[in-house]
């Protein structure tokens, strides 16, 4: 009876964890649609005006007189249009939108996905190197929640869990033996993974003229 209850509890806990980890399983509405397959590294004058969907990691947030420009290190997107954690990049780009956005919120390292129209290129320095950035006017921008690391214990057992171990019939629920078994002793495997972040902040769509 005790083993049956614990097996049921384990299955329910595992199902709850999977539900939480897979909570964000759709593309945010702001990022849905078809866009030109253009890499930030391949922007030439003949693609100015194209509508694109790019993502990556914020490098800098710069407020100008009437707009904010985000410098972004590009990353490949997963099937939900979130930036991946791979080190692969197609270079940097600049995404600008109307209004003020606090650099303490849109801070370095945050993951974003943007849609917009390529308006041109701009040359800036990265240390001593003259770098040519593609520039786009933002239509929509999603900043993702920070990733969290989840630790999973597979196959662990507590050698003191089994009934009558050391002569104690504690399967009946007497203190302190009614508590769930601890993850010490026994054998098993510890694995870690990062949660898939959900949308956190959405830049309002630019108003039509």
Residue 71 has pLDDT above 80, yes or no: yes
Confirm whether pTM is higher than 0.75: no
H/E run at residue 10:
helix 2-21
Query: Average per-residue pLDDT in the chain?
Result: 77
pLDDT at 195: 60
Q: What digits encode the pLDDT tens for the residues 81-135?
A: 999 988 889 999 999 999 999 999 999 999 999 999 999 999 999 999 999 999 9
Question: Rounded distance, CA 132 to CA 43, Å?
Answer: 10
**pLDDT per position as a tens digit, 35-57:** 999 999 999 999 999 999 999 99
**Domain-by-domain residue ranges, the chain?**
2-21+149-194, 29-148
User: CATH for 29-148?
Assistant: 2.40.50.140
> According to the model, what pLDDT value does residue 179 have?
38
User: In the predicted model, what is the mean pLDDT of residues 11-32?
Assistant: 61
Cα pseudo-dihedral 10, 15, 21, 26, rounded to 10: 170
């Amino acid at each position: 009876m005790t083993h049956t209850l614990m097996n049921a509890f384990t299955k329910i806990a595992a199902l709850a964890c999977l539900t939480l980890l897979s909570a964000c399983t759709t593309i945010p509405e702001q990022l849905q649609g078809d866009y030109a397959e253009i890499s930030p590294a391949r922007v030439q004058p003949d693609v100015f005006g194209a509508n694109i969907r790019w993502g990556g990691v914020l490098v800098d947030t710069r407020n100008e007189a009437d707009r904010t420009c985000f410098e972004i290190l590009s990353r490949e997107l997963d099937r939900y249009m979130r930036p991946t954690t791979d080190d692969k990049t197609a270079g940097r780009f600049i995404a600008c939108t109307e209004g003020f956005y606090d650099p303490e919120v849109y801070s370095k390292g945050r993951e974003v996905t943007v849609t917009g129209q390529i308006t041109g290129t701009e040359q800036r320095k990265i240390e001593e190197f003259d770098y040519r950035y593609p520039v786009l006017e933002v239509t929509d921008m999603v900043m993702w929640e920070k990733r969290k690391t989840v630790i999973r214990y597979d196959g662990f057992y507590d050698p003191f869990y089994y009934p009558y171990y050391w002569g104690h019939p504690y399967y009946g629920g007497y203190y302190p033996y009614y508590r769930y078994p601890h993850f010490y002793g026994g054998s098993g495997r510890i694995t870690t993974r990062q949660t898939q972040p959900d949308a956190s902040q959405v830049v309002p769509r630019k108003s039509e003229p």
